[in-house]
Amino acid sequence: MRVFVTGATGFIGSHLVPELVTAGHQVVGLSRSDSGARSLERAGAEVVRGDVTEDAILRYAAASADGVVHLAFNHDPAGQQQHSEEDRHAITVLGSAMTTSSGPLIVTSGTGLVLSENERAVAETDPPAPSSVFARGASEEAADALIREGRNVVVVRLPQVHDTQRQGRLHWHIEIARQKGRVAWIGDGANRVPAVHVSDAARLFRLALERGHAGARYHAVAEEGVPLRLIAEAIGQRLGLPAESIAPGEAEPYFGWMAQLAGLDLPATGAATREQLDWTPTGPSLLADLRNLKLDA
């Protein structure tokens, strides 16, 4: 299969490209820079030079591909509304460039954007929150619009993706801890974060591409929920900083813009995904990677 990958030189993309090449696929990666282009070529991929905001580039690459994996997203916490709407537009452009008989187009979302009932772990069948609630919901709204048009679109929802160098949103927990000289959790710290090692996430994207059903949602969840207290203690152990509970009223002075997020309980399950795609995570746990965190990363 000829596969076009956006975000091909990013955290997940840099693991997905060799995963796809090894599996025998012909990979075309999008790159803005010379260094990114060289890394893709070393991994055995072709290169399309350009940016995810360039519609003509996206249309050209998607139209000539058998499948597309859309990983690119601007995760800067400032301007999330704008970044989310840009993602909606990119997904629409990619999907419209593919025929109704081609695909799949793999759209990336997050388990933290999913609505659940009775505080249970969110499942693949649970609906996404609308963009009026979470700006990032624009991604799945764009996916649903294409599905209604009869296009072969699959959504992969990610939890916290990690290795010893990168940990998604937990990067900000680490940076705050370094600035404050301590690692904190709110209350009893029982609220949870789901997680997956980056190698397992990359393999799931490949399986979704090869075996996924049009309109399906898959959860790349290896651990349904790691308590924030254990996460803070692992960070503290690695950084050599004290780890302690803070009262809810202290959350904003300590966490800043992350205060509300740091108190949320966000468990998610990937049980249906494991069964449907025969996906078995084998990578290190989140706590293991935090205890072996590369401090110069």
Count the domains in the chain: 2
231-272 per-position pLDDT tens digit: 999 999 999 999 999 999 999 999 999 999 999 999 999 999
185 lies in the same domain as 113: no
Classify residue 277: in a domain, yes or no: no
Distances from the Cα of 192 to the Cαs of 176, 220, 261, in angstroms?
19, 16, 11
Q: Rounded to an integer, what distance in angstroms lies between the CA atom of residue 97 and that of residue 59? A: 5
| pLDDT at position 75 over 90 | no
In degrees and rounded to multiples of 5, residue 192 shows phi and psi of -115, 155
CA count, 13 A, side-chain hemisphere, 165: 7
**CB neighbours of residue 135 within 10 Å:** 19
For residue 99, the model assigns a pLDDT of 73
Mean pLDDT, range 8-15, rounded to an integer: 97
Q: 112-116, 171-175, 209-213, 276-280 — which is least confidently predicted?
A: 112-116
237 lies in the same domain as 171: yes
200 lies in the same domain as 247: no
Mean pLDDT, range 182-206, rounded to an integer: 97
Q: Rounded to an integer, what distance in angstroms lies between the CA atom of residue 140 and that of residue 150? A: 15
For residue 77, the model assigns a pLDDT of 75
Classify residue 272: in a domain, yes or no: no
Q: CB of 6 within 8 A of CB of 30?
A: yes
22 lies in the same domain as 132: yes
Classify residue 275: in a domain, yes or no: no
Mean pLDDT, range 127-155, rounded to an integer: 94
Classify residue 273: in a domain, yes or no: no
170 lies in the same domain as 138: no
For residue 100, the model assigns a pLDDT of 66
For residue 87, the model assigns a pLDDT of 95
Q: CB of 208 within 8 A of CB of 12?
A: no
187 lies in the same domain as 236: yes
Classify residue 276: in a domain, yes or no: no
153 lies in the same domain as 169: no
For residue 132, give every residue at least 6 positions away whose Cβ sits within 8 Å of its Cβ, in sequence order, or none.
none
144 lies in the same domain as 179: no
257 lies in the same domain as 146: no
Instruction: Note down the domain range covering 175.
Output: 164-194+224-267+282-291
248 lies in the same domain as 215: no
| pLDDT at position 230 over 60 | yes
Instruction: For residue 21, give the 3-state DSSP assignment.
Output: helix
Mean pLDDT, range 179-184, rounded to an integer: 97
In degrees and rounded to multiples of 5, residue 7 shows phi and psi of 65, 30
Mean pLDDT, range 26-35, rounded to an integer: 96
Q: Are strands 223-227 and 217-219 parallel, antiparallel or unpaired?
A: unpaired
Q: CB of 146 within 8 A of CB of 242?
A: no
Longest dimension (CA), the chain: 56
Mean pLDDT, range 167-194, rounded to an integer: 96
119 lies in the same domain as 204: yes
What's the chain's average pLDDT?
A: 94
- pLDDT-based confidence at residue 297 (cuts at 50, 70, 90): very low
112 lies in the same domain as 168: no
Classify residue 238: in a domain, yes or no: yes
CATH code of 200's domain: 3.40.50.720
Q: At what angle do helices 198-211 and 13-22 cross, to 10 degrees?
A: 50
Classify residue 172: in a domain, yes or no: yes
Classify residue 296: in a domain, yes or no: no
Which segments of the chain are extended strands (E)?
2-6, 26-31, 46-49, 67-70, 105-110, 153-158, 160-162, 183-186, 192-197, 217-219, 223-227, 243-246
Mean pLDDT, range 126-143, rounded to an integer: 93
Tell me the whole-structure pTM to 2 decimals.
0.95
Q: CB of 18 within 8 A of CB of 44?
A: yes
Mean pLDDT, range 217-235, rounded to an integer: 98
